[in-house]
Amino acid sequence: MNHTIKQAVYFLILLFSLNSAAQLETFDYSATLEKPSDQWHSIALPNEVFEHSKSDFSDIRIYGVNAKKDTLEVPYMMRKLSDKNITKKVDFKIINKAKNAEGYLFTFEIPSLTNINQMVLDFNGDNFDRKINLEGSNDQKNWFSVIEDYRILSIRNEITDYQFTTLRFPESKYRYFRVLVKGGRAAFPEIKTASITNTGTIAGTYRDYKVKSVETEVIKKQKLTKINIAFESPVLVSDLTIAIKDTFDYYRAIRIQYLLDSTKTDQGWQYNYRNLTNGVLSSLEEGNFSFTPTLVRKIRILVNDRDNRPLNVGGVSAKGYVHELLARFDEPADYFLAYGNKSMNKPSYDISRFTNKIPESPKPLSIKDTALIPKEIKAEAQPLFQNKIWLWLIMGVVIFLLGGMTMNMMKKA
């Protein structure tokens, strides 16, 4: 920001603070906004705003000063541009159960012909590792392969509770579906329940964050692998993907944590981590983990290796979905985004009750210059006489005068 722009920003901030009933000077930061061209606009918030705001973002405000020098507060709603999952359940019934030399067969009938791409099977039992074939047919005579040798797994013991029995496949439209659970005539649990759906995702808007460093440490005594991840600056992360180079099958319980704070003690630095999420890192699924958006600078992943060989980590990627404000601008003015006020409470605006009136895709409004709001420096009260010599001189004069008065009184006596 050059000197002229800085002067302009500070002038506007000063003008604002003189006229604002909301007392802009109680905020730490202010950013000028582009001139609104419509009544409704969206404002994508950069990470800098979250870094200096309250954890629940309740201290974010939009203010304006119009031509009459009146102060305006702009109502807004915050929206998270995350993925939206669309799931349509499909009615079905199991019409046949059988077993042959290959394994167990379950036949599903779909009453109305529709596309499906996912089955979730819930078996009445635990601890199995099988392969599945899925076929489709419209007459139960001609069967067509949908997926082959698809692995399902269940492990439940005092250490692990993990199950992967979700079949995902390309969209298929058949009247009948047949599931073959391979395994010969060996005993196998019955299907307790099932869910058949057509599932899709409307992709959200994300920011990809560059990882500064990834350091892996194997702690043999604790049978743990520790993965330390650092970013250049604080970022609002909601998704983490862990890439594993190994090609063998694995499943490991993991904890994902972030560094909350640190304290220097006589024994050195003590680091306080807080949990983001727990899960399982498995060769059957992509190593993607989602959690509540959290402002982080360092992340730690703890992988429970138990008695297994440590995994070879290929890399870690992070992203977070964009947060934006949907704001209504009712008249021309110079508008500002203010944030950084720990005593501010969450605002309550009427527009939260009329969300159907908010356009789905309002025109974006950019944030221009950000500045630290200058605070009024209160002059520290100074003693009347800072130099002790002056104090001694005055005391000497006082003593001299008192002595003279005393002598005069004695003479008169």
Burial 18-50 (b: 16+ CB within 10 A, else e): eebebebbbbbbbbbbeebeeebbbbbbebebb
3 state SS for 63-125: EEECCCCCEEECCEEEEECCCEEEEEECCCEEEEEEECCCEEEEEEECCCCCCEEEEEEEECC
Say which amino acid occupies 337: L
- In the chain, the percentage of residues whose pLDDT exceeds 70 is 84
Phi-psi region of 75 (alpha: psi -120 to 50; beta: other; left: phi over 0): beta
Say what the pLDDT of residue 8 is. Answer: 46
- Give the sign of the dihedral formed by CA 195, CA 198, CA 204, CA 206: positive
| Residue-wise pLDDT tens digits, 317-360 | 999 999 999 999 999 999 999 999 988 899 999 999 999 999 98
Nearest of 296, 85, 275, 284 to residue 209 by alpha carbon: 296
What is the C-alpha separation between 57 and 339, in angstroms, rounded? 8
Token code pair at residue 212? 């500064």
Nearest of 129, 143, 145, 147 to residue 183 by alpha carbon: 129
- pLDDT at 119 > cutoff 60: yes
Token code pair at residue 335? 């508008």
Phi and psi (nearest 5°) for 207? -110, 130
Token code pair at residue 273? 């981590």
pTM of the model: 0.77
| Residue-wise pLDDT tens digits, 227-238 | 999 999 999 999
Contact by Cβ (8 Å): 122, 230:
no
pLDDT band, residue 105 (cuts 50/70/90): very high
- Give the sign of the dihedral formed by CA 328, CA 331, CA 332, CA 335: negative
The CA distances from residue 348 to 61, 83, 345, 352, in Å, are 11, 27, 9, 8
What is the C-alpha separation between 400 and 117, in angstroms, rounded? 105
SS3 11: helix
Say what the pLDDT of residue 183 is. Answer: 82
The residues near 200 (Cβ < 8 Å, ≥ 6 apart) are 85, 86, 87
The residues near 412 (Cβ < 8 Å, ≥ 6 apart) are none
What is the C-alpha separation between 255 and 348, in angstroms, rounded? 37
- pLDDT at 145 > cutoff 90: yes
| Residue-wise pLDDT tens digits, 397-407 | 666 666 666 66
Say what the pLDDT of residue 211 is. Answer: 95
The CA distances from residue 384 to 225, 380, 399, in Å, are 65, 12, 20
Token code pair at residue 117? 């791409």
What is the C-alpha separation between 251 and 244, in angstroms, rounded? 12
Nearest of 283, 282, 103, 251 to residue 189 by alpha carbon: 103
